[in-house]
Amino acid sequence: MVDPLFALTVFAGSVTVLMVIFWPRRGIYARLSQNLRVTKQVQIEDALKHFYMWEQVGRTPTLESLAGRLTISTDDAAGLVTRLTESDFVHPGREGLTLTKVGRESALRLVRTHRLWERYLADRTGVPAVEWHDEAEIMEHSLSVEQTDALSARLGHPRWDPHGDPIPTASGELPELEQLSLGRAPLGTLLEVIHLEDEPREIFTGLLDHGLVLGGRIEAIERDNRQVRVLVDGSQRQINMVEALNITVRVLPEGQHAGSRLLTLADLEPGEIARVIDISPACRGSERRRLLDLGVVGDTEIRVAMASAAGDPVAYLIRGALIALRRSQAAWIRIERAGSLVEVAD
């Protein structure tokens, strides 16, 4: 005969297990179901963004391109396209898959959130540039329309993300883009970098390693089928053609050149006086805000007061206050020499 106490214990344990698994909203099954729904929604949104990005460069997305982008099988991609079609996001035609008006609006909302979050990371945090894209890939699925609009207002409704991509307005409008790549830019002219492609990550990392930044000025001096030789801040760099085609530039007025390197505050010795030109575009986020808070703006005079025993940091007299800066920070401040204490005394 079965022990009643044992039977009761088994029954209570079974009930507990079932409750843990099937408890509404909090049980394992509910959580797994929710995660599955979230995963499917993210997949749909990633698909819409893929279609939009391909349309922007004049390409027609296919099942194969979608499967490759989402790392799923072509069968799963076909099922996903079926769901998108039933939801009136995508229209399959003879020439391939195209976004409907509803699908394009949804894709633009994702792009808007993504690029605003990258702008936030660049301007308000110390997150490294190579991590902006991956962080934004997560947040684009998390923020509501209202939260995205609030973020835009907080940032002052920026028009461009930190890579130079246009940020859609709340109504989906986009500014016109210039399309001149470094790989096709005229030689011997001053160019301004207006866009650095951030995908794939390896390409973007390589562009940063070359010292390229948005707003930076460069000059293409030689080119063949494999690479472009450019002047970046007075130094020659060899940029392969794959990288060059991922850099968008615009031609600046004649009479300027990029051959002479701008001086920075880090180039000066104690006793020398500098006049600030600007802060390098490479200085972003909290570091840039700190320099601006210290009064480092155009035409500000800064005197190099003294260096530490190790040579780093260095003390600078800025607007009457003695401020210690690391040499790496001083290198962000672009200047022209304004004399020295000896010259001033004379």
Q: What is the DSSP string of 159-225?
A: SB-TTSPBPP-TT---------BGGGSPTTSEEEEEEE---SHHHHHHHHHTT--TT-EEEEEEE-S
- Residue 300's pLDDT is what? 86
- Residue 29's pLDDT is what? 44
What is the C-alpha separation between 316 and 113, in angstroms, rounded? 40
What is the C-alpha separation between 5 and 333, in angstroms, rounded? 79
Q: Could you tell me whether strands 217-223 and 227-232 are parallel, antiparallel, or unpaired per DSSP bridges?
A: antiparallel
Q: What is the DSSP string of 47-61?
A: HHHHHHHHHHTT---
- Residue 345's pLDDT is what? 47
Q: Per-residue pLDDT tens for 273-329?
A: 988 888 887 777 778 888 888 888 888 898 998 888 888 889 999 888 898 998 888
The contacts of residue 303 (CB under 8 Å, 6+ apart) are 271, 272, 273, 274, 316, 317, 341
What is the C-alpha separation between 88 and 82, in angstroms, rounded? 10
What is the C-alpha separation between 110 and 52, in angstroms, rounded? 10
Question: Which stretches in the chain have pLDDT values below 70?
Answer: 1-38, 254-261, 340-346
Coil/strand/helix, residue 21: helix
- Residue 147's pLDDT is what? 94
Q: Per-residue pLDDT tens for 174-195?
A: 877 778 899 999 998 888 888 8
Query: What angle, rounded to 10 degrees, do the helices at 101-124 and 129-139 form?
Result: 140
Q: Which domains does the chain have, with CATH numbers?
A: 28-99 (1.10.10.10), 182-251 (2.30.30.90), 263-345 (2.30.30.90)
User: Cβ(103)–Cβ(84) under 8 Å?
Assistant: yes
- Residue 88's pLDDT is what? 93
- Residue 260's pLDDT is what? 52
- Residue 331's pLDDT is what? 85
- Residue 19's pLDDT is what? 54
What is the C-alpha separation between 98 and 56, in angstroms, rounded? 12
